[in-house]
Structure 1
Amino acid sequence: MKSPIILQNIPCTLVTGFLGSGKTTLINQLIATKPADERWALLINEFGRIGVDGALLTSSQDSHTTNDIAIREVSGGCICCTSQLPLQIALSRLLSDHHPKRLVIEPTGLAHPRELIQQLSAPHWQTALKMQAVITVLSALQWQQEKYRTHEGFQAHIRDADVLVINRYIQLSTDERQALRAWIDKLNAQVSIIWAASDNHTTTHDLNTSTGYSAALNAQLFKPSFVISKQQRINIAEPYKAVVSLRPLRNSLTENSLHNSAINNDDAKPDTSIELPYRYHEQQQDILLAGWRLPAEYVLNADKLQNWLLTLPNWQRIKGVVNTSNGWLQINFTPDSLSTKTVSTQVDSRLEIILQASTGQKDAIEVKLDWEAYDNEIMALLI
């Protein structure tokens, strides 16, 4: 029997960007444009094991299906640095179970986008998916730091973009904006640029400046992807190049070296196989990952929790949905952006952190953490 997803020609948008660039915010902005009578699906790839991004993308009580949006999370690794099987299984089940009118894929910020583009350009997806413009998010605050703009993984996202959405740019001077444009042109002269909405300042590379940001962004959902079409032509002309050469990013600011993925297959159900409270931690090259899941009835002091998180050493990303003294809060921290938002009741509290294990300098001292002490410190925040 043929797979039910064949010949559906479902519009699919790939949203990429380096760790902490603002992909979740952009996807929420795309969701805001969804027609009320359409069912969408999101495939989210998380580097850690807890699975937080689905909750960050919706404030519904059911974090997997809300406002006619189905969410499937692939956690515990990078779908583009492992075999293609996790991606195929996750996509096939998401499409066959929910029959969406549109699909959005968000790979982890530690992913190499070229690998995922190669996978999605394979012949067996060309009848099922209609690939639209690859949207890449660029944080201007990150770009201002040399460690980002000279980083191969950071640059990789720019090279494989159809459209680049630039946020957090207000503080850039005119000269810095010109330098940013020149840097982008060297990497990808064909990319279209949208400056994310900030007050009333919205400009674009090839769109009328009077066009609103939301309209400019929504238009990308209906534009074919030049990047993926080019890869598809390569696959036809040189079939041997269509075989994905799987590799993690190297020389990294935060390096991806995971080679296994764990798929969360229980779309609308909480994972009851894990006894709460639960914590994991692991080290992959120069990054440290840790996450906690706590019973919903555990209430943490909101102010003390934030203070505790911000004192963690060398943190690169903190995200979570936690029951606190201020109610249920979404936490979404990057070094240049601290965001919290009140949300509705969740099935449990989830918190995940990414730390850089060392600065990469010759005489740097590696971060050594006492995770049991951290468990005790979190429990001390209970009220």
Structure 2
Amino acid sequence: MKSNERLSAVPTNVITGALGVGKTTFIERLLREKPDHERWAVLVNEFGEVGIDGGLLKDPNRQGVFIAQVPGGCMCCTAGLSMQITLNRLIARAKPHRLLIEPTGLGHPAEVLATLQAPHYRDIINVKATLTLIDARRVNDSLWLDNASYRQQMQVADAYICSKADLYTGIESKLLQEYVETQGLNKKPLLMEFDSEQVNALLEMPCVYQAVDCPVPAISLRKKALSVSEQLATQDFIRLNNSGDGFTSFGWALAPHKRFDLHRVLKVLRDVSINRLKAILITYQGIFAFNIVGKEMDYQEIDESDDSRLEFISDDSTAAQQLAQQLEVSLFALVE
């Protein structure tokens, strides 16, 4: 980029949706299809303290993509301090043509939008459509319907996009359409599956939601905590946990020379049933990314990772403690 090049206010989209709906997968697909000449920035927020989604979005062969993470709960809390500091640094570093923001599925998208619409961002950020992803198989799931964050995600959305449509049996589309009608949301666009041309059009739609109260610019007087990567420079193993809004998370990070056995990992994780589990693990057989939602697990080999990380979220604190102990005994204790 030339030093005298000046970008106008950056088109910015918030990509939201419940835990495990596929937000990171959706963003990864957007990045694969971005114009080659453009720089895109992604700000990822996770409830857990370890931070894994940023690693899932990294691709050494992809040019013009800049990623930053805000782990440890909803990034809009504490007057948006964590979000604003990380966002300012990301924009300064990337000077992006587009910015994508992925709040945690347990976060508050209305507050995120309030931060983006604050007066001090008016000439920097052009807030475009908020896209909410929905897994239509879970449209009547009480865990979602009774969750205030999920209801807020539906209300602030400018459009809805169905995720994991390849797993639908046929009735899900009808149930989803009935749901949005009963909620009075049926005037908003609804895509039943990913279509590049239609999604690109949605990205350019305006943001209808307008915040009433906007946070002031963030000024941090606190000493910056060491990141997980910085901590792993001096120690081989880190364990972190978090809790809030009825959910508990446990996460682990291991130095890159610590290697897992893939067969043991699969044996252990196939018995796990949890709200959400994500991992990137360096094994003797390669580097693999794992994803569990409920009882459904999938995994794939990826090209690279700076270290190994595993994190899960549960709405049952007792079950979370038990699973954490189980993983430490049957998995982490055996890593060499």
Shift of 1:129: 0.8
1:190 aligns with 2:187: yes
Percent identity, please: 28
Confirm or deny: 8 A CA contact 1:43 1:71 kept in the other structure. Answer: yes
Confirm or deny: 8 A CA contact 1:114 1:160 kept in the other structure. Answer: yes
Shift of 1:8: 3.1
1:50 aligns with 2:50: yes
- 2-side partners of 1:164 and 1:180: how far apart? 10
Shift of 1:83: 1.6
Instruction: Describe the SS at the equivalent of 2:314.
Output: strand
Partner residue, 1:335: 294
Calculate the TM-score normalised by the size of structure 1.
0.76
Instruction: Describe the SS at the equivalent of 1:353.
Output: strand
- Runs (5+) with no aligned partner, structure 1: 198-212, 236-240, 245-260, 359-364
Confirm or deny: 8 A CA contact 1:165 1:195 kept in the other structure. Answer: yes
1:22-171 superposed matches below 5 A: 22-60=22-60, 66-169=62-165, 170-171=167-168
Inter-CA distance 21–298: structure 2 relative to 1 (3 Å threshold) = same
1:379 aligns with 2:332: yes
Shift of 1:330: 1.1
Calculate the TM-score normalised by the size of structure 2.
0.86
Inter-CA distance 151–24: structure 2 relative to 1 (3 Å threshold) = same
- 2-side partners of 1:30 and 1:264: how far apart? 31
Instruction: Describe the SS at the equivalent of 2:78.
Output: coil
- Runs (5+) with no aligned partner, structure 2: 216-221
Residue identity opposite 2:213 in structure 1 = A
Q: Which moved more, 1:346-355 or 1:13-22?
A: 346-355
Q: Which moved more, 1:339-348 or 1:142-151?
A: 142-151
Shift of 1:134: 0.7
Inter-CA distance 334–274: structure 2 relative to 1 (3 Å threshold) = farther
Confirm or deny: 8 A CA contact 1:14 1:134 kept in the other structure. Answer: yes
Residue identity opposite 1:288 in structure 2 = T
Partner residue, 1:215: 197
Shift of 1:90: 1.2
- 2-side partners of 1:36 and 1:86: how far apart? 30
CA shift digits 1:105-129 (9 cap, x unpaired): 1111111211112222222222111
Partner residue, 1:356: 315
CA shift digits 1:206-251 (9 cap, x unpaired): xxxxxxx122112222222223xxx1xxx6xxxxx3246xxxxxxx
Inter-CA distance 74–6: structure 2 relative to 1 (3 Å threshold) = farther
- 2-side partners of 1:328 and 1:262: how far apart? 34
CA RMSD of aligned residues (A): 3.0
Partner residue, 1:319: 278
Instruction: Describe the SS at the equivalent of 2:106.
Output: coil
Runs of 4+ in structure 1 over 4 Å off: 4-7, 261-267, 269-274, 365-368, 370-373
Inter-CA distance 69–262: structure 2 relative to 1 (3 Å threshold) = farther
Question: How many residues were matched structurally?
Answer: 325
- 1-side partners of 2:6 and 2:115: how far apart? 16
Inter-CA distance 263–335: structure 2 relative to 1 (3 Å threshold) = farther
CA shift digits 1:190-218 (9 cap, x unpaired): 32111124xxxxxxxxxxxxxxx122112
